[in-house]
Amino acid sequence: MVFSDMLLHSYFIVDFDKYDNLPDVQLPENTRLAYKITATSVQTVTSFYKNIFLFPQKYPFCLLVDISEETDRSEIMLDLLVSFSFHFGYIKDYYDNPLVLFEISKPGDHEYISAVREAFKSQGYFDIVTTDIYKNIDFLPENPNKNIRFNLQESLVSLPSEYINSIKTLTSSNCSVFYFLKYPGQLPEILKVIQEAESIVKENMPQVYWLLSENKFLKLKEDELLSKMELLREQLKSLNAYHSNYHSTSSRYKKQITELLKFYKQEYEILPLWYKRFGHIIKVFTGKRTFNSLFNDKVKKYKV
């Protein structure tokens, strides 16, 4: 079944140990899949790492790191997070910057995010794109985009009404929706329920529906332009580096030639006059210079 794009940028969060339970379904363009890594499941993350590279699903994906006091913050774990981005299906935004989601419990968790960012940079990335998901509303920043979170259980009966109510209370058009799936096999059913709810929004709130649809289109165009801008910036950087190197090399050669000419002139000028004239006579005998040129400067000096 093919699903149309959703009104809001959406993430479907799946525990990485449930990787094999995902059904084969084509996700809408403005939705993304994230595998959640927690402190309690970090011991088996290596097996997940092996599975995702040996038996890859076709979904593009990113990681969601649940930050807690027990989260493994070792250098080995940081390197492991970076290595996931080498997978061909890993999501990268804004010209090859990997996307990493973080589930935050308290403000101090941002220190760990900085460590993750530096780990990616140490492996050659310019930066990472991050999105914070707060567990506790008390720790929300002053001007958040009011991202919407759904902790989905086995029953999806309340999802349509909760989704419609969330759209009614939107305070930012740039918010994203995060669906935490307890049962990954429900993904096709969840997509169907959301699209049915959006049909209700279209019928009962046509203006809101149109505005969100237009915002979705503009956001996709913005992301496309930002990627092109980063590409052009890299091209300009390469051109500037080339010209800088070319001019420095050219200047170096010019300086060497000038120094050689200066050295030759200095060494020639200090020679005695009789030595210079004797050299001219030798050139005549060797056939390199005409005899008449010794007495008349207007006569052609050198033979071809």
Per-residue pLDDT of 238-248, as tens digits, reads 777 777 766 66
User: Which pLDDT value is given to residue 222?
Assistant: 74
The Cα 297–Cα 182 span in angstroms is 101
Burial class (CB in 10 A: 0-12, 13-18, 19+), 88: exposed
The Cα 113–Cα 64 span in angstroms is 12
Quick one: tokens of 160?
A: 């349509």
Residues 62, 31: contact at Cβ < 8 Å? no
Residues 152, 125: contact at Cβ < 8 Å? no
pLDDT in tens, 253-302: 777 777 777 766 666 666 666 656 656 666 656 666 665 665 666 666 66
User: Which pLDDT value is given to residue 221?
Assistant: 77
Tens-binned pLDDT, residue by residue, of the chain (304 aa): 667 788 888 999 998 888 888 888 888 888 899 999 887 766 777 788 888 887 766 778 999 998 877 777 777 788 888 999 998 889 988 778 999 999 987 767 788 889 999 999 999 898 999 988 887 655 555 545 568 889 988 889 999 999 999 888 887 777 889 999 999 999 999 999 999 999 999 999 998 888 888 887 777 777 777 777 777 777 777 777 777 766 666 667 777 777 777 766 666 666 666 656 656 666 656 666 665 665 666 666 666 5
User: Which pLDDT value is given to residue 278?
Assistant: 59
Q: How many CB atoms lie within 10 A of CB 216?
A: 18
Q: Where are the alpha helices (DSSP H) in 72-124?
A: 75-84, 110-122
User: Which pLDDT value is given to residue 172?
Assistant: 74
> Of 169, 165, 159, whose CA–CA distance to 195 is shortest?
159
The SS3 assignment for 54 reads helix
Contacts of 35 (CB under 8 A, 6+ apart): 13, 14, 15, 16, 19, 48, 52, 61, 62, 63, 64
Residues 289, 296: contact at Cβ < 8 Å? no
The Cα 286–Cα 201 span in angstroms is 102
User: Which pLDDT value is given to residue 270?
Assistant: 64
- Helices 187-204, 159-168: crossing angle, 10 deg rounding: 50
